[in-house]
């Protein structure tokens, strides 16, 4: 059998069930195309097994198994998942087993009951009858597929209730021909010592039976990753999980955490090379994007905050030796170190960020450094947040050191919201007017949009495009509003915006007691940053006449 060994000193094999168990996560709904794209990414990173779904359960899974044949994978093997046959049917006439064979994938995972409670209460059959279902189903399929894994559902609960019967289930599966016995913490409630202790008992049993065993954990107690690793310590050589830990209820074991721990912390061998491991962050964010989920900033290893440093003492130490506050090099998993600017920042944060911007020829005793630091702390006290708006910070830094050209001067703006249309076809719209001074000219223009921010963007672009055509390359990709301290309509708001062009993304921030003013300030920062990064020189002479409404 390919890819499974029984010795705990050997490699650990990775089994991904994102496309099946992960798709059972609330608000996640993969299309066939989504599943194909994820499968290709999993193959590219070196995953051993990719569980494609439960054939016969829904049209999407059926279509996936047909379409994946047209997309041969380089390394990964596709797995079909299903249950043992139904009571009082023969293996030849059971529809689940028939659908599994129709996939023609060559690798099947079959699950069966290992907890006496489930056998008697859920299936409503006797304990010997359950063993017969498992034996007959595995024996029938194993003679027709290359590799068969047996998932012992609710194994840990079953072992705690009746260890003899739980081991009988494993022995029956092995005698029927199963290549690997997978212990499932289906309820996700086991503790780490329990998993390791029971795992060691199973390891001795599997050694006698000359069969490998694996682990499949859910995260209902927040221990799925820890329990999976405890099983590996006890001797498991297959680990099942999902990308980003998505799955039913609280999710599954997160392979994005398990994989680097196995390789970088535990010294275990997997099929993922060091080079492929550098794609881990991209894989995590890709699956989140496909699943329409916001990436978790503080997710270990791959989150944007995983290697972010905010406190001045931390930054000072990290600048001397990254190991002081980083347990691995972020590049090993495709992430990067970030130094944040906030009211907790010290000179170390500031000097580090300035160096990132290419501002390196400063005297550390330059008084402007202290003035900039005090300005940033004052702004953060007012509600500004530069963690996700580094473009706004860079503009202020360059302005402090006389490095920012003066492209235009703001005179003011006005916005009018209105409802347009007649009954049955009414829609909201907005009209914005901006006043700017560019190269000595007063520009007074109007723009329309679906809302006030859209209208302001249109007006600002119209006012500047004759002088700086680059502004038409900008696109708003994210807009967030946060209500700060205060009550009701008098509260301050913080607006964070993210922009992109064909070359880069950048974030800006605005704070005001008026949401439109905060949005306008963030937008103006975005325009200035775009012009500076593109190396645009300020207009010095009149290029067009005075423009007015």
Pick the range with the lowest mean pLDDT from 7-11, 83-87, 388-392. Answer: 7-11
pLDDT tens profile 462-481: 999 999 999 999 998 888 88
Q: Which pLDDT score is estimated for 432?
A: 93
508 has a pLDDT exceeding 50: yes
Domain assignment of residue 227, yes or no: yes
pLDDT tens profile 182-192: 999 999 999 99
Identify the residue with better confidence: 318 or 202.
202
**What are the backbone dihedrals phi and psi of residue 261, each rounded to the nearest 5 degrees, phi first?**
-65, -45
Classified as helix, coil or strand, 42 is helix
Q: Which pLDDT score is estimated for 361?
A: 79
Average of per-residue pLDDT across 243-267:
97
Range of the domain at 151: 13-272
Residue 527's CATH number: 3.30.160.270
Which one of 272, 298, 318 terminates a domain? 272
Which one of 272, 303, 331 terminates a domain? 272
pTM, two decimal places: 0.71
The total number of structural domains in the chain stands at: 2
3 has a pLDDT exceeding 50: no
Domain assignment of residue 523, yes or no: yes
Domain assignment of residue 389, yes or no: no
6 has a pLDDT exceeding 70: no
Helix, strand and coil content of the chain, in percent to the nearest 5, comes to 45, 20, 35
Domain assignment of residue 52, yes or no: yes
Domain assignment of residue 366, yes or no: no
Domain assignment of residue 502, yes or no: yes
pLDDT tens profile 305-364: 898 877 656 666 766 677 777 899 999 999 987 766 654 556 666 777 788 788 887 777
Domain assignment of residue 316, yes or no: no
pLDDT level of residue 380 (50, 70, 90 thresholds): confident
Q: Which pLDDT score is estimated for 118?
A: 93
Q: Identify which of 210-224, 285-299, 325-339 has the greatest average pLDDT.
A: 210-224
pLDDT level of residue 248 (50, 70, 90 thresholds): very high
Residues 257, 227: Cα–Cα separation, whole Å? 12
DSSP for 402-465, written as a single string: T-S----EEEEEEEEEEEES-TTS-EEEEEEEEEEEETTEEEEEEEEESSHHHHHHHHHHHHHH
Domain assignment of residue 386, yes or no: no
Which one of 231, 255, 272 terminates a domain? 272
Classified as helix, coil or strand, 15 is strand
pLDDT level of residue 414 (50, 70, 90 thresholds): very high
Q: Which pLDDT score is estimated for 303?
A: 93
Q: Which pLDDT score is estimated for 345?
A: 55
Q: Which pLDDT score is estimated for 164?
A: 98
pLDDT tens profile 105-155: 999 999 999 999 999 998 999 999 999 999 999 999 999 999 999 999 999
5 has a pLDDT exceeding 50: no
238-258 burial: b if 16+ Cβ within 10 Å, else e: bbbbbbbbbbbeebbbbbbbb
Q: What is the mean pLDDT of the chain?
A: 89
255 has a pLDDT exceeding 50: yes
Q: Which pLDDT score is estimated for 420?
A: 67
1 has a pLDDT exceeding 50: no
156 has a pLDDT exceeding 70: yes
542 has a pLDDT exceeding 80: no
Alpha helices in 263-415 (DSSP H): 274-277, 280-291, 312-320, 347-356, 367-382, 390-400
427 has a pLDDT exceeding 80: no
Residue 260's CATH number: 3.20.20.70
Classified as helix, coil or strand, 353 is helix
pLDDT level of residue 486 (50, 70, 90 thresholds): low
Pick the range with the lowest mean pLDDT from 66-75, 207-216, 481-490, 509-518. Answer: 481-490
Share above pLDDT 90 across residues of the chain, in percent, rounded to a whole number = 69
């Amino acid at each position: 059998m390919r890819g499974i060994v029984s010795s705990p000193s050997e490699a650990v094999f990775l089994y991904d069930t994102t496309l099946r168990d992960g798709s059972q996560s609330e608000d996640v709904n993969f299309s066939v195309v989504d599943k194909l794209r994820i499968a290709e990414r999993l193959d590219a990173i070196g995953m051993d097994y990719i569980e494609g779904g439960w054939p016969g359960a829904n049209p999407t899974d059926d279509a996936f198994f047909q379409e994946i044949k047209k997309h041969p994978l380089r390394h990964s093997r596709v797995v079909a998942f299903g249950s043992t046959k139904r009571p009082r049917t023969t293996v030849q006439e059971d529809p689940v087993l028939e659908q599994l064979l129709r996939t023609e994938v060559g690798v099947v995972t079959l699950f069966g009951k290992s907890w006496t409670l489930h056998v008697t209460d859920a299936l409503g059959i006797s304990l010997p009858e359950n063993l017969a279902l498992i034996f007959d189903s595995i024996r029938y399929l194993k003679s027709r597929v290359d590799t068969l894994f047996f998932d012992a559902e609710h194994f840990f609960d079953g072992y705690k209730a009746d260890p003899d019967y739980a081991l009988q289930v494993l022995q029956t599966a092995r005698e029927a021909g199963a290549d690997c016995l997978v212990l499932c913490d289906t309820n996700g409630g086991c503790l780490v010592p329990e998993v390791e202790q029971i795992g060691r008992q199973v390891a001795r049993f599997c050694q006698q039976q000359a069969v490998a065993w694996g682990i499949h954990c859910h995260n209902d107690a927040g221990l799925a990753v820890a329990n999976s690793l405890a099983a590996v310590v006890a001797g498991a050589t297959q680990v099942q999980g999902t990308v980003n830990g998505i799955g039913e209820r609280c999710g599954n074991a997160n392979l994005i955490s398990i994989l680097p721990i196995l390789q970088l912390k535990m010294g275990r061998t997997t099929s993922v090379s060091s080079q492929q491991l550098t794609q881990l962050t991209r894989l995590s964010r890709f699956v989140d994007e496909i699943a329409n989920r916001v990436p978790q900033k503080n997710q270990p290893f791959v989150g944007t905050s995983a290697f972010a440093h905010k406190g001045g003492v931390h930054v000072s130490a990290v600048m001397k030796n990254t190991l002081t506050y980083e347990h691995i090099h972020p590049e090993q998993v495709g992430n990067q170190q970030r130094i944040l600017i906030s009211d907790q920042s010290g000179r170390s944060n500031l000097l580090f960020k300035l160096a990132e911007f290419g501002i390196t020829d400063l005297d550390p005793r330059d008084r402007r450094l202290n003035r900039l630091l005090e300005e940033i702390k004052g702004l953060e006290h007012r509600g500004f947040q530069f963690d996700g708006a580094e473009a706004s910070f860079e503009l202020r830094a360059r302005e402090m050191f006389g490095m920012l050209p003066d492209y235009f001067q703001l005179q003011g703006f006005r916005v009018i919201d209105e409802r347009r249309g007649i009954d049955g076809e009414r829609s909201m719209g907005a009209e914005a007017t901006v006043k700017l001074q560019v190269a000595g000219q007063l520009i007074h223009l109007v723009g329309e949009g679906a809302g006030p921010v859209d209208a302001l963007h249109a007006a600002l672009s119209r006012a500047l495009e004759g002088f700086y055509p680059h502004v038409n390359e900008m696109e708003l990709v994210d807009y967030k509003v946060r209500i700060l301290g205060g009550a009701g309509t008098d509260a301050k708001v913080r607006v964070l915006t993210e922009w992109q062009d064909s070359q880069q993304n950048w974030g800006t921030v605005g704070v005001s007691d008026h949401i439109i003013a905060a949005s306008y300030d963030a937008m103006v920062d975005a325009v200035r940053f775009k012009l500076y990064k593109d190396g645009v020189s300020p207009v010095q002479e009149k290029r067009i006449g005075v423009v007015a409404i």
